[in-house]
Structure 1
Amino acid sequence: MINIVPKPYYIMERQGCKILDSDSKVCVAPQLEKSINAFSDTFDFIDKKNYKFSIDCDCDCDVKITYNDKLKDECYNIECTEKCLTISTSSYAGLLYATMSLKQMVFFALEGSDKEIQVPCVDIQDEPRFGYRGVQIDEARHFIGAENLKKILRLMSLYKLNTLHWHLTDDQGWRIEIKKYPLLTEVGSKRKDTNIHGWQSTDMVGKPYEGYYTQEQIKDIVEYAKKLNITIVPEIDMPAHFAAAMASYNWLGCREVPCEVHWFFGGKVPLSIDWKDWNRSACAGKESTYEFIFNVIDEVTELFPGKYFHIGGDEAPKDEWKKCPHCQKRMKENGLKNVEDLQGYFNNRIANHLREKGKTLIVWNEALEANNLDESVVGQYWTPQYDPNVKKELKKGRKMIISKHQAFYFDMCYCQYPLADTYNFEPTDKIVPTECEDQILGLEGHCWSEWIADFKKLEMQLFPRALALSEDAWSCKYDKNLKDFNLRLPYQERILDCLDVNYAENEVANPKGYFHRKTEMAKWATCDQYREVRKNAELKKKKM
């Protein structure tokens, strides 16, 4: 059985295998010469002097990499016989993904010392269902650093996930250097403590927390991701989740009052110290706010060459806007009926600024409440409750990314959202009308990090959920089968073991028993977000 994840569109296993070694000859179509690293970096045991770039790939060789302009970007075909391994594609991405499928097939031989690889004879024709296949990493709450992030990128590429949504700012920290506004990192990247033990807790770690990326570090990570066919979408949260910015420059608020970088998650802590106005949005009336935002965007877009730019736009408190003379004046001047339309105006100005730079704005689905939101803005549906605006906007032609809480909030405990919930998700079942499926850019899984303080826990929350996500986003919806996925999963777990990934063991990822799950969910929510982590560690010890 060939255990590739995500499952290819078409796969037929044949008898026999093709042997590759250091003396194997590789013939590459000249159109793919600049893309050859997508193959050679993995099959690095083949001597580079054995590569030939020629239109005539009918020559006697062990590997043929042919150009087929009828295949779309990211698509590929593999035909492996005992005589020759043939890869057909039209792009770097297609060659990379063909290589990732081959890498999974022969992974343990590649990891060994004997570089004679037996590639199973097989026919594969493969193409993605969605063009956007994303993972979101929140470094505003907890900072993981460049090397850990690169590990996530490598794993994403192995499973054909092509978009990293990088949450870089929030109330609890500003993690990206902005040269025009140095206080964003001098002040905004630091908090005095960190809330622990859940939303109802006022417990603290008891020490300061800080961290951010320089622009040079960002450039390095973006370039690293590019080689893995991963586009990075930066998220600079606004107008809400903006406390780190307002702590740095308090004139960004409607009232210029002192503000701190939040050291807590949710409202329990500020209410306990009688801090009534802790949850504020940036002022949508002052022109100085827009000048600040555009200057930040100008620096950030220079670092990220991708098409999309995320500003969040969710959970925006607007009571202050109703009283603010700057906001009320802005509403009157622009004929805005209410504060929801003021946020629509706010978002539209940002969308227009981004459009001038060839970028498209993404916002969370709460921002779809505005009646005046520009049609070019992409919505991202995350909320656990049904949002009628999503279906309404899809029918009007708006593009959408689906990140439904019940399937794709990977920071939640497995007792709440087991692995099967992610795998069984199908956007056209309830959310997306069948006639609107073409408006769906793709799917994205999220790892918010309020309660993920270390990288090992982050890995456990992501894996194996990210494998289920990859199959949701890549594989044909009519060919998905949970039982078949579970049969392929143990082989993938062996790969993850070799890559030193702290994935969730099956007993954790697929918890049994209604009452057990309810009890664990309650404990997770109220006092202990590391119960599954400890259980997972015990299960891994037993395997050793």
Structure 2
Amino acid sequence: MNLLPRPVSYVDGGKLCAYQGWETVLVDGPPGGYRLLSSDDGVLIEAHDAAGEMNALQTLRQLLGPQAFRVAGDRPAVIPACEIVDHPRFEWRGVMLDVARHFLPKREVLRWVELLSAHKLNVLHLHLTDDQGWRFESKRYPKLTEIGSWREDSRFGDRRSAGMKGRPHGGFYTQDDLREIVEYARQRHIAVVPEIDIPGHSQAAIAAYPELGVHGGGVWTDWGINERVLNTAESTADFYRNVFDELMDVFPGEVIGLGGDEAPGHEGELVRAIAEHVLRAGRRPYGWDEVMESGPLPAGTIVASWRGVAGGVTALREGHDVVMCPEEFVYLDYRQSESPDEPIPVGTVTTLEKIYGWEPVPAGLTGEEPGRLLGAQANIWTEHLDSARRVDYAAFPRLAAFAEVVWSPAEKDPNFVQRLEEHHLPRLDALGVEYRPLTGPHPWQRLPGIPGLPR
């Protein structure tokens, strides 16, 4: 991502040049790559493709300074005279945003598309359904949103604390909302990957249509693993084939998420049936690494390796494409320090430095595996992130570190944190991102007395 671009060479000793616009020329090169030349003659962008031009324009925006990240105010008149040759290391540079546990309005999802674009990330994975809410409008099965899109209450903190918020929570996206998000992202060269989770994490659907489940019950108000899963009746598979048909009509992209996680003993039959249905439609199913335990996967399935990297390595060796997202390194809802000031501390300590130091390519791979390592993804689960402000706090500035890991070469820059503090945090300020300061949370970002579950 190059938070402060590191030019290959400077022109005329690095003097400043008046900025008056740019010219773009398409040339051969790696996908998403570009060359940016700034001189007294203006700015020239040579890009491999339209995505490369977008990446170059984001670099140009960085060169113009933090004020360029605002929609009003004085703009800089000069930029450094420089030559920058750059391209992404990985083709999949993603973020999973959980809008099922706590709903984010459409305006906030559009804002996230902008933030991904500013960080040269190119995949937005939307986790649309879970035990606690169904966020995708199904015209064929309206009860999924009439009943499944809201819950009566929510746990506030760790489930063992017995604390509840005492108020309903809900919301959903219409199909028109989601088509708008997809188009908004497409214009910024970001693919939107939808996920409807099966056979576990399905209590909201079961609440709406009890015949789908092994047991009944309402939309879940708690967090954690719910033992109530979908049944394996053929009628349930038909129901989800119809739902996935609607999903694929709204989301035209190649990759369609089907979950498959945290449902021990129940993964196989339904997951394979829906994966095959997605493949017959000309798309590619995308599942969490538990799908590897459900028997032979259909060719073309993409595996998201979240329980460490072993599942991803196995998938690569079996010929499947893989996205690395191990919880130890890229779960951005995990606590950021050992300090008691961290709000609702869950998971392991995952610092900015830990994320920046992560290497997405596991040791021991030869590069000759039949599957491809597409890239990596940071995951933002929202059990304890109940507002856009809380999501900002959890994600930033750690997401900036992740963005540089998946864009730049494997070698690490010892000056990364200094560059971040001096150059990129002012950009986040200009964008209105309510990030966690490097020294710890602001007083209003703390949630004293709300217990988490640190590990």
1:418 match: 351
**Equivalent residues of 1:428, 1:434 under 8 A apart:** no
Could you tell me which amino acid in structure 2 is paired with residue 392 of structure 1?
T
CA distance in 2, matches of 1:297, 1:438: 26
Residues 131-170 of structure 1 aligned to structure 2 (within 5 Å) = 131-170=91-130
1:348 aligns with 2:272: yes
Amino acid in structure 2 at the alignment position of 1:441: L
User: 1:6 deviation in Å?
Assistant: 7.5
Query: Could you tell me how far apart the structure 2 residues matched to 1:145 and 1:231 are?
Result: 19
Aligned residues of 1:195 and 1:205 also touching (Cα < 8 A): yes
Residue identity opposite 1:350 in structure 2: I
Per-residue CA shift, 1:98-134, capped at 9, x if unaligned? 0000001103453464446212111111111110100
Verify the 8 A CA contact 1:236 1:312 in the aligned structure 2: yes
Structure with greater proportional helix content = 1
Pairwise CA distance, 1:84: 2.5
Identity of counterpart residues, as a percentage? 31
C-alpha distance after superposition, 1:507-530 (max 9, x if no partner) = 138xxxxxxxxxx9xx99x94359
1:78 aligns with 2:78: no
Q: How far off is 1:311 after superposition? A: 1.1
Query: Equivalent of 2:207, from 235, 243, 247?
Result: 247
Structure 1 residue 381: Cα displacement: 0.7
Cα distance in 2 for residues equivalent to 1:494 and 1:408: 24
Q: CA RMSD, aligned part only?
A: 2.4
- The answer to whether 1:401 aligns with 2:323 is yes
Q: 1:401-460: per-residue Cα shift (whole Å, max 9, x none)? A: 000111100001102111111111113344755544971111100110001111111001
Please report how far the alpha carbon of residue 253 of structure 1 lies from its aligned counterpart in structure 2 after TM superposition. 1.9
Q: Map 1:302-341; keep pairs closer than 5 Å.
A: 302-318=249-265
- Deviation larger for 115-124 or 77-86: 115-124
Q: Which moved more, 1:308-317 or 1:175-184?
A: 308-317
CA–CA separation in structure 2 for the residues paired with 1:362 and 1:212: 22
State the match for 1:442 in structure 2.
375
* Counterpart selection for 1:472 from 394, 405, 409: 405
Residue aligning to 2:427: 495
Change (3 A) 1:115 1:196: closer
Q: Quickly say closer, same or farther: Cα 1:236–1:180, change in 2 above 3 A.
A: same
Give the whole-Å Cα distance in 1 for the aligned partners of 2:287 and 2:73: 48
* Kept after mapping to 2: 8 A contact 1:131/1:441: yes
Q: Distance in 1 between matches of 2:67 and 2:427?
A: 11
CA contact (8 A) 2:306 2:327 kept: yes
**1:528 aligned residue:** 451
Spell out, residue by residue over 1:304-359, the C-alpha distance to the aligned partner (whole angstroms, 9 max, x if none).
111111111011143xxxxxxxxxxxxxxxxxxxx6xxx33432221221122221
- What are the ranges of 5 or more consecutive residues in structure 2 without an aligned counterpart? 338-348
Once residues 134 and 202 of structure 2 are traced to their aligned partners in structure 1, the CA distance between those partners, rounded to angstroms, is 9
Aligned to 2:345: none
Residue equivalent to 1:283: 231
Secondary structure, in 3 states, of the residue corresponding to 1:244? helix
Shift of the 428–434 alpha-carbon distance from structure 1 to 2, 3 Å rule, reads: farther
Counterpart-to-counterpart distance in 2, 1:459 and 1:114 = 27
Contact 1:6 1:159 in 2 (8 A): no
Aligned equivalents of 1:113 and 1:375: distance in 2? Answer: 53
Provide the secondary structure at the position in 2 that maps to 1:101. Answer: helix
In structure 2, what is the Cα distance between the partners aligned to 1:89 and 1:170? 40
How far 1:135 moved relative to its partner? 0.6
Secondary structure at the aligned position of 1:311 is classed as strand
Give the whole-Å Cα distance in 2 for the aligned partners of 1:74 and 1:437: 24
Residue equivalent to 1:122: 82
Structure 2 distance, partners of 1:116, 1:197, is: 45
Match of 2:343? none
Shift of 1:375: 2.9
> Is the alpha carbon distance of 1:449 and 1:114 closer, same or farther for their aligned partners in structure 2, counting shifts above 3 Å?
closer
* Residue 240 of structure 2: aligned partner: 293
Partner of 1:506: 438
> Is the CA contact (8 Å cut-off) linking 2:212 and 2:230 kept in structure 1?
yes
Q: Quote the Cα distance in structure 1 between the aligned partners of 2:161 and 2:5.
A: 43
Q: Does structure 2 conserve the Cα–Cα contact (< 8 Å) formed by 1:7 and 1:475?
A: no
Any idea what SS the aligned residue of 2:162 has?
A: coil
Contact persistence 1:79–1:86 (CA under 8 A): yes
Counterpart CA distance in 2 for 1:67 and 1:209 is 48
SS of the equivalent of 2:198 reads coil
Would the aligned equivalents of 2:93 and 2:403 in 1 still touch at CA under 8 Å?
yes
Q: Is the 8 A contact 1:6 1:470 kept in 2?
A: no
Aligned residue identity for 1:381: S
